[in-house]
Amino acid sequence: MTQRIPIVENILSANDRLAEENRARLDAAGVFAINIMASPGAGKTSLIEQTLPRLASLARVAVVDGDIATSLDADRAAAAGALASIQINTGGECHLDAVMLRGALEQLDLTKFDLLIVENVGNLVCPASFKLGTHKSILVASIPEGDDKPHKYPGMYRGVDALVVNKIDLLPYINFRMEFFTSGVQALNPDLITFPLSCRTGEGMDAWIDWLIQNVKRNS
């Protein structure tokens, strides 16, 4: 196994350099960019679908969707009102990296946007290791995936700037110990700003939208 470590380090450090280039390109155009990560099915695409109409008159938004296969997510983002929607098919890779995002940025006229939403591959492990050059990393957790996830996937919870806890409408039907969940989050990332919400009912969406708009304005 030891043979793998230097190779992985080389990949990561090359990736970091490209991430810095992506960041510089975004900053030059005044685009605020977020990287949304989560388990498969936690609700990344649903969050984007619910976010886009609420930003309609407030920010010009592009969406970049990473998936192993299909363009289902980019299609949903386009239908929800993204001015541009680009699908990256990773061809089996379990995460986005800075090279892939660079390829997507080259297809966009960044001067036409205020906000770039990047939806990573559904995976609670690998995406945490690959910087993209975005300004903030967002983790979407969900009630049905269980209250033990911060304890079991510490790398992801440690590295993010905001946490969306989705599907709170399912709380009556699921044994989810909110205190156990919160204690795990606080041990890893004490000041993590958290948005409990339901993409299905819309409950809690306002606080998330306010935070996003504040960040876009601060960046412009």
Virtual CA dihedral for 145, 146, 148, 151, nearest 10 degrees? 30
Among residues 3 and 57, whose Cβ is nearest to a copy of itself? 3
The 3-class SS string of 194-220 reads EEECCCCCCCCHHHHHHHHHHHHHHHC
Range in contact with a copy of itself (rule: CB under 8 A) among 22-30, 37-45, 78-86, 209-217: 37-45
End-to-end CA distance of the chain: 46
* Closest approach of a copy of itself to the CB of residue 129, in Å: 8
> Quick one: which of 29, 83, 170, 209 contacts a copy of itself (CB under 8 A)?
170
Nearer to a copy of itself, 24 or 174 (CB): 174
From the list 20-28, 54-62, 77-85, 124-132, the region that binds a copy of itself by CB under 8 A is 124-132
- Residue 131 interacts with a copy of itself (CB under 8 A): yes or no: no
Cα(46)–Cα(53) distance, integer angstroms: 12
Q: Which residue has the tokens 């939208």?
A: 209
- Determine, following the binding rule CB under 8 A, whether residue 198 of this chain makes contact with a copy of itself: no
* DSSP secondary structure of 18-35: HHHHHHHHHHHHT-EEEE
Q: Does 103 bind a copy of itself (CB under 8 A)?
A: no
Residues 48-77 that bind a copy of itself (CB under 8 A): 67-70, 72-73
Cα gap 8→12, rounded to integer Å: 6
Q: Which two tokens stand for residue 68?
A: 């192993």
Contact residues toward a copy of itself (CB under 8 A) are 1, 4, 7, 11, 39-42, 67-70, 72-73, 92, 94, 99, 121-126, 142, 144-146, 148-149, 151-155, 167, 169-170, 173-175, 200
